[in-house]
């Protein structure tokens, strides 16, 4: 029972989706493509699909997955069923390695000219020298700070006695170890000195009030004044402030944020590659993003032009500064042994925190 | 626990011919045991197999077989501490349920409340009918610092500090007792209502005081209920993960949460499966140790 950032968007998009069920079906469309994505995650906005079909004559239907493992399984077991798939950039290597997706032909995606170069050409998106995913949206894990408190400039603040009993961490092994790695000046995706990570995470214990697993839990505890400083999702902080009226703002410390990047890819067995690219092009179109972000709520777009189109006072725009794209580390694919080591370390840390 | 199959079944008459009794018995047992086979033994068997694997068997990964998952208590020594917390919580919960449940059942069964005793019984069963998550989240609102409990205490004693104890092991026990108490009340209620009033009256007429009646008649005769209730509570509580997670906060690390993390966060099914089977083995060992006592007292 966890609300991920996607589930949350899903809830927010639920109304739009329900409305789409009632809408009249188009009797005829020249081409039909199938998109595989999380439910309620941007690609299935009813108004967007209507606009896209009206402009291109391409009808879009969806299939959904509930976990990234399920996404890989669906791609592998249903060749020819999907034209576009949403894929976390950390999964590109695996999917491309299994021959499930094909290299992106950016010539067929005119809007890709606006993509932030670091995201477009990120290592995560590459496999054997070719780009397999088109960068779509991104977000950060950084610090959520209660308004009126001094903004910390470093993750070291989590262990600073000034915040005793007022800190919350995200209960996620990759994020926690990544945090420890950044705080100790290491590569987040491949920390060589796990002992240093462990020492840093242990030093947070006197300050730690709680571990959170869902945005809802975070909101309730923050509203009850349980903590002032927390590892938080950039989009979550924006939602908590804008929708929940909570006095919180997002801070990216000097070590940089823990970033994630989602891309859109074309399966290697896609029946209609051109239509797929047309759809991807539309998904990174500034006009689509503007409406998605301002009317529904969306993560930050990888398209610089799309972010620029948001009004200056838009909180998403203020939080997701272009500079942060350069300073953040993006979560990459982890070899099994390293993932297991991260999980074991975090489990040990949780037992250490529990022994308080 | 006493779900022994009927040893003889009435021979059914079909098509004018009497079928041999074993056919009828098999036909009657098949739905239940077939379902048990599919719903319990197949997944359990699969999990047992997983527990010897090197990685979760999803995707096209190379899977090897190993005993390493069963060595977690030696490779990760903090697990001993986690196990100790888990069993402390489970014993505390079972004990409190046994005490409170027995007394409640005694009152319900023997107080002569007449018809209104059903209302009280239903009140006790209410937690059963509420969603577990709702139940636990409502406790977080009551026992958190500045929650309802604090509001009430500070209304009576304005000077008092906070008595909120959310994110502690007592909070976990509180949530578990609330959820599992009905099992104990029900099993004890059934056991106590079968005690013949005449026995108690005879004891009293022979001069037995209330503690003698309680200690030598009611408790021994209600023991099957107490024991059944304890088993029904101890087993799920040892593996509980929702209550520790939500009410325990950072303190809520138990074998249940470690197993859940292995399956969900860590995507390490073999580790989770191995831990589950070790837990199962410990629980079975405990009951095997006490089975003599159980049989003597309960006469099952």
Is 1.10.3720.10 the CATH number for B77-298? yes
Judged against a pLDDT cut of 90, whether residue B144 lies above it is answered with no
CB atoms A347 and B146 under 8 Å: no
Question: In 10 A of CB A152, how many CB atoms?
Answer: 18
- How many Å apart are CA B32 and CA B29, to the nearest integer? 6
What number is the average pLDDT over the span A295-300?
89
Judged against a pLDDT cut of 70, whether residue B298 lies above it is answered with no
B77: phi > 0 → left, psi -120 to 50 → alpha, else beta; which?
A: alpha
pLDDT at A6: 53
Searching chain B, which residue's CA lies closest to the CA of residue A67? B264
Give the nearest partner residue to B133 out of A1, A98, A209, using CB atoms: A1
Judged against a pLDDT cut of 50, whether residue B101 lies above it is answered with yes
- How many Å apart are CA A323 and CA B36, to the nearest integer? 59
What number is the average pLDDT over the span B203-214?
92
Note the ipTM here. Answer: 0.79
CB atoms B82 and A69 under 8 Å: no
Judged against a pLDDT cut of 60, whether residue B300 lies above it is answered with no
pLDDT at A201: 97
Nearest-CA distance B259 → chain A (Å): 11
Q: Which residues of A178-216 are buried (b: 16+ CB within 10 A; e: fewer)?
A: bbbbbbbebebbebeebebbbebbeebbebbbbbbbbbb
Query: Chain B 83-122, CB below 8 Å of chain A: which residues?
Result: 85
- How many Å apart are CA B180 and CA B94, to the nearest integer? 9
List, for residues A140-188, the tens digit of each pLDDT value.
999 999 999 999 999 999 999 999 999 999 999 999 999 999 999 999 9
Searching chain B, which residue's CA lies closest to the CA of residue A208? B250
Judged against a pLDDT cut of 50, whether residue A314 lies above it is answered with yes
Nearest-CA distance B147 → chain A (Å): 9
pLDDT at A53: 95
- Domains plus CATH for chain A? 5-137+260-318 (3.40.190.10), 139-258+332-354 (3.40.190.10)
The pTM assigned to this predicted structure is: 0.81
């Amino acid at each position: 029972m966890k609300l991920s950032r996607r589930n949350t968007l899903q809830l927010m998009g639920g109304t739009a989706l329900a409305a789409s069920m009632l809408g009249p079906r188009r009797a005829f469309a020249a081409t039909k493509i199938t998109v595989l994505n999380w439910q309620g995650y941007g690609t299935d906005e009813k108004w967007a699909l209507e606009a896209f079909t009206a402009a291109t004559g391409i009808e879009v239907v969806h299939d959904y997955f509930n976990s990234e493992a399920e996404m890989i399984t669906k791609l592998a077991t249903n060749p020819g069923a999907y034209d576009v798939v949403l894929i976390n950039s950390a999964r590109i290597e695996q999917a491309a390695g299994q021959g499930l997706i094909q290299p992106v032909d950016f010539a067929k995606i005119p809007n890709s000219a606006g993509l932030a170069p670091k995201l477009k050409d990120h290592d995560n998106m590459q496999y054997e020298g070719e780009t397999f995913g088109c960068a779509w949206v991104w977000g950060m894990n950084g610090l959520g700070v209660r308004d009126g408190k001094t903004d910390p400039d470093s993750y070291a603040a989590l262990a600073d006695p000034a915040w005793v009993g007022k800190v919350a961490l995200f209960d996620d092994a990759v994020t926690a170890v990544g945090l420890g790695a950044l705080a100790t000046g290491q590569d987040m995706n491949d920390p060589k000195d796990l002992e240093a990570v462990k020492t840093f995470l242990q030093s947070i214990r006197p300050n730690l009030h709680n571990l959170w697993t869902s945005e809802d839990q975070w909101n309730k505890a923050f509203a009850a004044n349980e903590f002032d400083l927390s590892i938080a999702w950039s989009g979550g902080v924006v939602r908590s402030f804008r929708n929940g009226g909570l006095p919180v703002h997002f801070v990216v410390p000097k070590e940089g944020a823990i970033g994630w990047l989602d891309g859109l890819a074309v399966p290697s067995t896609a029946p209609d590659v051109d239509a797929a690219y047309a759809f991807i092009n539309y998904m990174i179109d500034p006009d689509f993003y503007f409406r998605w972000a301002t009317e529904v709520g969306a993560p930050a777009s990888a398209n610089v032009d799309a972010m620029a189109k948001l009004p200056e006072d838009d909180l998403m725009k203020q939080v997701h500064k272009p500079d942060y794209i350069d300073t953040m580390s993006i979560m990459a694919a982890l070899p099994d042994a390293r993932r297991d080591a991260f999980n074991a370390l975090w489990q040990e840390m949780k037992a250490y925190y529990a022994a308080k | 626990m006493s779900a022994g199959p009927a040893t003889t079944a009435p021979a059914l008459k079909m098509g004018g011919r009497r079928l041999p009794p074993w056919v009828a018995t098999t036909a009657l047992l098949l739905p239940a045991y077939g379902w048990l086979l599919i719903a319990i033994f197949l997944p359990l068997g699969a999990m047992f197999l997983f527990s010897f694997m090197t990685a979760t068997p999803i995707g096209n990964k190379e899977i090897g077989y190993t005993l390493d998952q069963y060595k977690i208590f030696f490779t990760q020594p903090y697990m001993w501490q986690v196990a100790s917390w888990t069993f402390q919580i489970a014993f505390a919960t079972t004990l409190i349920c046994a005490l409170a449940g027995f007394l409640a059942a005694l009152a319900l069964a023997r107080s002569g409340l007449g018809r209104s005793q059903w209302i009280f019984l239903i009140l006790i069963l209410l937690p059963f009918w509420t969603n577990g998550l709702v139940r636990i989240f409502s406790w977080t609102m009551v026992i958190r610092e500045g929650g309802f409990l604090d509001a009430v205490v500070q209304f009576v004693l304005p000077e008092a500090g906070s008595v909120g104890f959310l994110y502690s092991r007592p909070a976990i026990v509180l949530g578990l007792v609330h959820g599992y108490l009905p099992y104990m009340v029900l099993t004890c209620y059934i056991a106590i209502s079968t005690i013949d009033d005449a026995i108690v009256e005879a004891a009293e007429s022979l001069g037995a005081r209330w503690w003698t009646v309680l200690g030598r008649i009611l408790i021994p005769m209600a023991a099957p209920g107490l024991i059944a209730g304890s088993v029904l509570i101890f087993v799920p509580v040892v593996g509980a993960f929702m209550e520790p997670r939500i009410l325990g906060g950072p303190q809520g690390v138990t074998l249940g949460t470690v197993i859940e993390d292995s399956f969900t966060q860590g995507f390490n099914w073999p580790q989770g499966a191995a831990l589950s089977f070790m837990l199962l083995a410990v629980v079975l060992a405990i009951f095997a140790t006490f089975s003599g006592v159980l049989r003597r007292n309960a006469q099952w």
